[in-house]
Structure 1
Amino acid sequence: MPVRIFPPTRRTTVDIGTAFELHALRYLNEKLFMDLRRVGGAGDGGVDLRGWWWVPKARGTSSSFSSSRSEGGASGELERKRKRVRVVVQCKAEKKSLGPRNVRELEGVMSQLQLQSHMQSNQTSPPSSQTLPEHDQAISLLVSQSGFSKGAMIHATKSKTPLMLVHLPGGQPFGSLTPERLTPSSSPSPVARTSSLSLETPFRTSSDLSGEESFIDTPPTGSRDDQLESDKRGEVDDIQVESIWWNKALSEGVLGGLVELRREVLSSGRARVGLWTSGKRLGRYSPAE
């Protein structure tokens, strides 16, 4: 009896967008240790995900959170070593690589949120959840299912807005049968794929980008135990990220040069992008609930 082959289930743009937003949410929360929630929908102001990211804090600096709390012991010491950063995310599940227009759109969203926050700070009404408190540093992420064009990378490099660009394949709606989903073993590995910023070769275009990149294509320099533990975690990673990149406004401005992006090659041969600080892999930095 011949095997019946059913056509792929048609999915709406809403289904596709929602699935990718949830995929990005899981990656950012589980792998980059952010604390985000999904807010996409009517009246979202162009924002799909938003929340916080706890990162190391340079000595001599203060954050609104740590300065407003006085705790003793180890907990208080930890508060003095970290800060929280406001995160705004746009997710794009498009077939073509994103261009400069998409980056400018995200810059516009950030400018609008900051303007609304400034206006509300001069009023007696409480700030809206859609605005950015003035005392908090904020960064913006653009997560693309299909990568970024050369023009997008160059524009983001020159931007004064703290930007992180994430090329995150996958996240198709359940039941969408693509060649990769039908034959996962035959899909190209993250290292084998090519994009505007691949794990195999960091993105470089011209002298305009010289010294601007924070993507480090070198083996981790942490201890052997750190690398072994990193490999163990990597063996069970089921989310493949093609690349992560950020500009100087984020790496040197908001992060103060304390966090690095590194290409990690696991014992399985797979590659991934990891966050490192002071020679160690950065873990979850948020305070205990």
Structure 2
Amino acid sequence: MTATIIDGKAFAARIRGEVAEHVARLKEAHSITPGLAVVLVGEDPASQVYVRNKHAQTLEAGMESFEHRLPADTPEADLLDLVARLNADPAVHGILVQLPLPGHVDAEKVINAIDPAKDVDGFHISNVGLLGTGQKAMVPCTPLGCLMMLRDHLGSLSGLEAVVIGRSNIVGKPMAQLLLGDSCTVTVAHSRTRDLPGVVRRADIVVAAVGRPEMVEGDWIKPGATVIDVGINRVDAPEKGEGKTRLVGDCDFESCAAVAGAITPVPGGVGPMTIACLLANTLTACCRANGLPEPEGLTA
């Protein structure tokens, strides 16, 4: 068996196109433009690239983009003051504070200072609680992207057995809640799970988000299962030359693709969906703030 490759890059482009269409209709019918504010503290190179991509894609979707770049030594109180100003700004519908933050800043304190209705990352404790109790919430972008791809490929997820490998607050836990919401039977596994391969072999859906390069092997996969690889790991690639690296997921792609029914590649799978879902969340937040219908197909 050779797995179908789930093209996250193409799917994300489709989502961004749908968002742009909704934004254009909002402008025309209601003179409303969704606005996303991104706050970057410090000069982490990966964060800078990510923020630059967010800015470009926000503008492409027809939204307002508000960037706030602060030096690494910015006092926590100043960052909290900025968050408070963005909370009060009616032009800002979504607020994202780029992680990681410098060590002197309490990240949880900052995240929980964001207005939950503008928390387009879905990390505020109120949104975590709403998602966990099956209520309307802002949903973390990466799990939302995974859910969209699963629904698109499989249709109804009801009754399927799903194993989420990883228990982080950013991916593993919210992913499990979303799958439960779609009536899957869900197991949350992790690096300390006894007989992890045996647990994974039961699954119709495998979401690998454990952060260990190529940990999940092909003989762990149930024939025909759908595998969503969230991992992004940089490993040495001596075949490319001295000091060169390559990106791999949490799954050994070749062996898993030989058994699975469908699989996301790394790169080009889950990664592109994250910013697309950030834009979708900003649009959703804007619609909710203005008492307008939420965009269909772009929420959980």
Task: Return the TM-score normalized by structure 1.
Answer: 0.24
**Higher RCO structure, 1 or 2 (CA under 8 Å, sep 6+):** 2
Which structure shows the higher helix fraction? 2
Task: Return the TM-score normalized by structure 2.
Answer: 0.23
